[in-house]
Every structure is written in C-alpha cells, then in structure tokens.
Structure 1
C-alpha cells in the first residue's frame, strides 16, 4: 500500500460531521427524556376578587345569542356612562344600592380601554363583579336619555 493520503481528508470531514450529529442526537434524546424527580407545575392561584369577562353580543353568533339563558336581573345591572353609574332606568345609582347587589354586572361602553375599565372596577370595589360591554341598543338609549 502506498502512502497516498489525498482521499482521506474528505473521509475525515465526513466522520467528524457524523460524530457531531450523533452527539447532538444523544443530547436531544437525553434532554427530552423524563426526569426522575420532576414535579408537575402547580396552577397559579387567582385573587379573591376574580374578574369575569362576558363576551359582548356583537362577537357571538346568532345561535349563541338566541340560546343564551344568562339574563341579568334588572336590579343587578350597573351601567357606566360618561363617568356615572346608572341603573336599568338610566337613573343615577346610589353606592349603597350597588353594595347590596349579590351578583352585579357592570356594563361599559365598548370603546373604553382596559385601563379605564379597571379604574371603574376599582371605584366600585364589589365582589363577584361581572364586566360586559353595552350593546348598540343600550348606547342609543343612553344617547337619547342624555338629550
């Protein structure tokens, strides 16, 4: 055999690449394998005054609106408009009346930002407060009442 090493360079490179890919494959298999003492992550605990968001009727399909049985009792509705809290008759609502509500629903205009909604929620300080957006019919009624 002659000492001709002209073809060995490509063989050496191919062997080095094969070893590198094999090492990466082994590391991947080890990292994806289950760990013996691993614990499952616990769920984050929510604060006592949960924020419940109800989708507006504009974003629901017609069948969902027709089959929706979540009717709000008139005495539980709080309408926020132009910095004021109103009842279902669009009359100013007393703080004592709002505090006595068991499951109040706060209806806000759809163009209110999230920061403004959270500020309004902070002004109320009611437990179990559900927040939703006003429908176009309510917005029209508020506009007519303001005239």
Structure 2
C-alpha cells in the first residue's frame, strides 16, 4: 500500500511582519504621498494673472478691443474730457504696453462717436482711427511719461 505524504515543498508560508518592517512600509508610503503632493499642488494651482493674460502687447494691440484682449482688466484712466455729450477717457495698461481712448455717450440720446489718436509728433503723423455707435476703442503702443 501506498501512504500519502503531505509535502509543503514549493508552497510559500506567510509569516506575520515584524513591527520594524511595518515602520519601513509606512515610511515608504508616507514618502510617496509627500512626493505626489509636491508634484500635484504646483500643477493644480495657477496664478490668477495667467487666466487673464493679455492677448497682445504694444503695437500688436493696434485696432483690437482692450477688453477682449485682456488689457481692460487693471487698466488705468489718464486725462478725461467731456465734449458733445460724451466722456472721453485716455486709458492705458502697462502690462499690455498699450494705450487707448474710450468714449461713453452721456447725452442720453443716440450718438455716433468717431476719433483718432495721433502720436509720435506734434502735429499730423501716424494715426489710428476707428468709429462705432456709442464708443470707440483704439489701442496703440504706450510710452510711459
């Protein structure tokens, strides 16, 4: 007769991990978590200015709308003038290196605004003109005073 022998050859026996092994595993896990946070946090946070970055700069802004190009945000108002029922504002943004005029109808009626900016010389010289009902926007290269 044959007798049955049970053999554990080739079978891996699992033993309970020692406390120092658990400490190593925990430190490894903690190191991986800290590394992942260090990588993920800078990728997920953007400076607010990036979202509102200007779409043009200097002479590349000529003839474009400052609001749609991101230059209207943070723009400063320089000298203003009232003429013919309209408020005319000199606006500029140093980030865009651009300056433009904004005309707002204050008369309450329908008005048509048209204008041009001349720069670079005392009398007639390089100019950009635009016209539209109610307001006009012109952007040009800004030279700080």
Q: Indicate the structure whose relative CO is greater, using CA pairs within 8 Å and at least 6 residues apart.
A: 1
Give the number of the structure whose residues are more often helix, by fraction.
1
Which structure has the larger Rg? 2
Give the number of the structure whose residues are more often strand, by fraction.
2
Common topology (TM > 0.5)? no
Please give the TM-score of this superposition, normalised by the length of structure 1.
0.24
